[in-house]
Structure 1
Amino acid sequence: MRQHNAEYPSMPLPERQAWPALIALCVGFFMILLDQTIVAVATPVLQESLQASYNEVIWVTSAYLLTFAVPLLITGRLGDKFGPKNVYILGMIIFTLSSLACGFAPNMTTLIIARAVQGLGASLLTPQTMSVINRIFARNRRGAALGVWGTTAGLATLAGPTLGGLITSTIGWQWIFFINVPLGVVSVLAVAKWVPRFRPIERSIDGLSMLLSVVAVASVIVALQEGEREQWGWPIWVLLAFGFITAYAFVCQQARAEAASKEPLAPLELFSFRNFSLGNIGIAVMGFAVAGTPLPVMLYLQQVHDYSALKAGLFMVPQALISAVLSPFVGRLADRVSPGRLAAIGFSVLSLSFFLLGWSMTLGLAGGWFLGIMVIQGLGNSVIWAPNSTSTMRDLPHALMGAGSGVYNTTRQVGSVVGSAAVGAVLQWRISVADMGTAYGQAIILAAAVLLIGAISSAAAKD
């Protein structure tokens, strides 16, 4: 029998309470994804407007990714300690105010700093979304909820290129950041009203684990971000090795923290769940593809075919629209059939679409052929997000949801940075020996190959 507690309601929530909470959280999730896609489309205009160097433009994204990814293990656990509702609202306030600062930035230095603060806000709120969804919905209804979450991703992907192209072509790049302000206010009010409070963990979070996690993740990400610009010299390899050694020390510290009756950031118990481990491989691969491919595609359309930012953005509409429409149906299907098998199908279809995309770019194709590939890409996308998240998280006990969400989101972000670095390295290598279209296409084919790893790991998940 459900026990009622005015301060901490028992979980899962009744459906009539859970769905408004989900919608409130999806507003913030939409903002995060919208911000990433809008900035990608606006990059050429922003570079010209602020007379920025290529390195400065890269750091507009790199600074955001760095401050977003590095604290995720910590911010996931902060939600367990201080309540995901409180941490989410704090993160949204920081994200909204820093978006305002980005729009008013008079130069690249100010913009990069504001983007770094914006990344910190995103890091605070992002893990709370998945943590709350997996607590407030019953196990056999999480697929449906995560299907709506996937629809939100599709709508943001749809709106980002379209709005980004329209805004930068009309009222100016500043408004790609100002648009976050009203959304942020709505999100704070909605979460304050509809998201419940959760009973916090009592033990203190292990301080050494926090320090080691920051050093390890920061070292790996900075090495990958700067590797291409530093031509992969020995300092980059030293920093990368230091990051991996620190990561090993972090893993060892988790067991020591548990023995000392402190809360580890990433309890090793998480990885005793087979589907959690396999799902993290899948989401890393997805991060690789999602973060690594937009830039070469946008550069190809705008530089090889001389399309405007708006026209280039419109080519992304079919895949985003299909993903948004199909995700709720796929989410409900994931509650009835194997989510791992669904995700394996999605990864396979998405990989095929990227192979076709890369091949078409090497041949210099665009137009209708490009749009047809985007339809296939939308089909693949729609069968990945909700099934992979459902398979990964649904067997975790509530006590591990915050930690699991932090690990899941950290894995996705590290995958994103690896993807950006790897695609950038291929571009730098191939652009010196091939024409632009061929170089951009070969970079896309790399993402297609990596996506096959996600198909294999998803197929290995237990029903």
Structure 2
Amino acid sequence: MATAPASAAPPAHPPLEGSARIWGTIALSAATFMNVLDSSIANVSLPAISGDLGVSSTQGTWVITSFAVANAIAVPLTGWLTQRFGQVRLFMASIILFVVSSWLCGLAPNMTTLIGFRALQGFVAGPMIPLSQTLLLASYPRALAGLAMAMWAMTTLVAPVMGPLLGGWITDNISWPWIFYINIPVGMAAVTIAWAIYRKRDSPTKSLPIDTIGLSLLILWVGALQLMLDKGKELDWFHSAEVVAMAVVAVVGFAFFIVWELTEKHPVVDLSLFKRRNFWSGAVATAVAYGLFFGNVVLLPLWLQQYMGYTATQAGMVLAPVGALAIVLSPLVGMTVGKVDPRRYATFSFMVFALVLWMRSNFNTQADIATIMVPTIIQGVAMAFFFIPLVTLTLSGLTPDRIPAASGLSNFLRITAGAMGTSIVTTVWDNRATVHHAQLAESINLGNPAATAAISNLGNSGLSSEQVLGQLNRLIDQQAFMLASNDVFYASAVLFVFLIPLIWLARPAMGGGGADAAAGAH
């Protein structure tokens, strides 16, 4: 969702200097931090939110997917909104509305309301990250643009580390609504400082037509597809008329959207970009890989808290180290991506992701926290080599004026894939657990010495027959969901390996805006 790099047009205002530049950087970074934090802070809080609002953990994942889908839909609108209202005014409005929607999320009395407010929060957050990058680039002289982008990228890497830790601690020690309330002081401080510094540095505005039909079709088919994925398991998939109807709406809406966007003079999404091999191969590889990554990031804390007895804080500690090596290695990748074939870096990233997921596929119910944290630490290496090389490939060879549209479209695909990945992974996890539960339950019979010994021991400890069966069922559940987690991790590892040839369909990155816009990967 990067905007055009500094080379696309001379800045309308001179760079900031001294304390103004420092405070401007802090304000922009705080807004970015708050935004990215909200994409991961709810992950470890899902069991608490689901339990408090009386819904299943599968329904609880809507808290994540509603934010992601609405955020993805808002991304292509950023360019039009910027030209209509100005960069600074739009950025301020985005922060203020984000703070208001965060407050509403915390007050939500039920899951339906919370999902609605999370969708609103995701939508108003859409322009915030690309505009923070644009304003930051304009605050620094051309010679320091690389430093500005390095600091911006650091913020987007630190936030996912802090999210699970902070979310877990708040959930265990205060209550889950405070994962949303903490945005209020951060957002108000960021908007106050940013307005004081940037209010006289707004971009010119002009009235432009908006592709309302294209936007409506986009919302229709993406919304229908996500609803189908979220409600499929609950309604028994295509045995439900409601799921079939949503599938038909998604397919027909998508078909009309494609036809309309290819013929519209001012399309909300520039589909002609898919004529470029580097763009479609890079964008699809990024989207599928991110969907796999994000789905597994949601699954791990769910499994740990529901079936391994971890608190939200402990689950956050397991996830937190993922950014450590990413923070250390990302500047190195950024400095060398122009000298090394980015396809090599992206291939290395996918291989490390596959290794990490293969390691997780060997977990068992006896795994301690150190064993579970090792793959998470290694995953930081994969993250460092993931975003920058793939964005460099995706945007390579494009003229500067096409980079905003290309970056917006690739990020729309990535964010949408993240939401879909969450729904698909949790659905497959539940389905595989049902299969494993049935298989394990079949082995509990009088002909199984281990089973009869376990039943006898539980009976001798003073438990009634019903309590013995209940305890056995809990043990079977724990084993079934562990085996289901292993299945998902293993399948994800295999898919990462199969994605590698897609990277090599792209030509080596030559010229264009790819390297300049690499920081826009997030």
TM-score over 0.5 for the pair: yes
Q: Please report how far the alpha carbon of residue 298 of structure 1 lies from its aligned counterpart in structure 2 after TM superposition.
A: 0.9
Match of 1:35 among 21, 38, 46: 38
CA positional deviation for 1:203? 4.2
TM-score normalised by length of structure 1: 0.85
Q: Distance in 1 between matches of 2:75 and 2:141?
A: 25
Counterpart CA distance in 2 for 1:396 and 1:134 is 20
* Equivalences for residues 245-260 of structure 1 within 5 A: 245-258=252-265
8 Å contact kept, 2:88–2:198: no
Q: Which residue of 2 aligns with 1:220?
A: 225
Partner of residue 97 from structure 1, selected from 89, 95, 100: 100
Query: Are residues 213 and 300 of structure 1, via their aligned partners in 2, closer, same or farther at CA, if it must alter by over 3 Å?
Result: closer
Change over 3 Å in CA distance of 1:430–1:237 after alignment to 2: same
Q: Which amino acid aligns with 1:366?
A: D
Contact kept, 8 Å, 1:77 with 1:403, in 2: the verdict is no
Q: Give how far 1:99 is off.
A: 0.8
Deviations 1:196-218 (A, max 9, x none): 54455764222322222222222
CA distance in 2, matches of 1:15, 1:60: 40
Note if 1:345 corresponds to 2:348: yes
Distance 1:369 1:55, change over 3 A: closer
Task: Name the residue aligned to 2:421.
Answer: 419
Q: Which residue identity does 2:387 align to in structure 1?
A: W
Aligned-pair CA distance for 1:238: 4.5
Distance 2:354 2:21 in 1: 33
- Shift in alpha-carbon separation, 1:369–1:12, aligned structure 2, 3 A: farther
Q: CA deviation at 1:175?
A: 1.6
Tell me the equivalent position of 2:382: 380
CA distance in 2, matches of 1:275, 1:22: 33
Counterpart selection for 2:173 from 170, 173, 177? 170
- Of 115-124 and 60-69, deviating more is 60-69
The answer to whether the Cα contact below 8 Å between 2:46 and 2:57 also exists between their aligned partners in 1 is: no
| Aligned-partner residue type, residue 188 of structure 1 | V
Q: Which has the larger radius of gyration?
A: 2
CA distance in 2 between partners of 1:19 and 1:451 (Å): 41
Larger CA deviation: 302-311 vs 102-111: 102-111
Judge which range, 407-416 or 29-38, deviates more. Answer: 29-38
Inter-partner Cα distance in structure 1 for 2:76 and 2:128? 12
| Residues 1:312 and 2:315 aligned together | yes
In structure 2, C-alpha distance between the alignment counterparts of 1:283 and 1:76, rounded to whole Å: 22
Asked if structure 2 preserves the Cα contact closer than 8 Å seen for 1:150 and 1:385, the reply is no
Q: Give distance in 2, aligned partners of 1:267 and 1:51.
A: 42
How far is 1:288 from its partner?
Answer: 0.7
Instruction: Give me the whole-angstrom Cα distance separating, in 1, the residues matched to 2:129 and 2:481.
Output: 36
Amino acid at match of 1:459: W
State whether residues 296 and 443 of structure 1, in contact with CA within 8 Å, keep that contact through their aligned partners in structure 2.
no
What is the TM-score with the length of structure 2 in the denominator? 0.76
1:264 and 2:271 matched: no
Distance 2:255 2:144 in 1: 37
1:241 deviation in Å? Answer: 4.1
1: CA distance, partners of 2:129 / 2:498 = 25
Cα distance in 1 between the residues matched to 2:396 and 2:270:
17
- State the Cα RMSD in Å: 3.3
**Other structure's SS at 2:175 match:** coil
Letter in 1 for 2:122: G
Q: Quick one: which of 215, 224, 249 aligns to 1:242?
A: 249
Deviation at 1:396, TM superposition (A): 3.6
Cα contact 1:323–1:381 (8 A) shared by 2: yes
Q: 1:320 to 1:109 in 2, by over 3 A?
A: same
Aligned partners of 2:46 and 2:402: how far apart in 1? 39
Pairwise CA distance, 1:132: 6.4
Alignment deviations for residues 329-376 of structure 1 (CA, whole Å, 9 cap, x no partner)? 222222433334322221221122112112225x75233222221121
Q: Within the alignment, does 1:230 sit opposite 2:232 as a pair?
A: no
**Unaligned regions of 5+ residues in structure 1, if any?**
1-7
Please say if residues 346 and 384 of structure 1, whose CA atoms lie closer than 8 Å, have aligned partners that are also in contact: yes
Alignment of structure 1 residues 133-152 onto 2, 5 Å: 147-152=150-155
C-alpha contact (below 8 Å) 1:285/1:450 kept by paired residues = no
Aligned partner (choices 392, 395, 420) of residue 394 of structure 2: 392
Aligned to 2:514: none
What residue is the counterpart of 1:446 in the other structure?
491
- What amino acid sits opposite 1:319 in the alignment? V
CA contact (8 A) 1:165 1:310 kept: yes
Measure how far apart 1:54 and its partner are.
4.1
Percent of counterpart pairs with the same letter? 28
Tell me the alpha carbon deviations over residues 306-351 of structure 1, each in whole angstroms, 9 at most, x when there is no partner: 1221112111222222212222222222243333432222122112
* Deviation readout 1:137-179 (Å, 9 max, x if unpaired): 9999877665544432321121111111211121222221111
Q: What is the distance in 2 between the residues matched to 1:136 and 1:395?
A: 27
1:78 matched to 2:81: yes
Unaligned segments of structure 2, at least 5 residues: 1-7, 437-479, 510-522
| Residue pair 1:69, 1:123 contacting (<8 A) in 2 also | yes
Asked whether 1:58 is paired with 2:58, we answer no
Aligned to 1:303: 306
Is the CA contact 1:95–1:122 (under 8 Å) kept in the aligned structure 2?
A: yes
Aligned partner of 1:3 in structure 2 is none
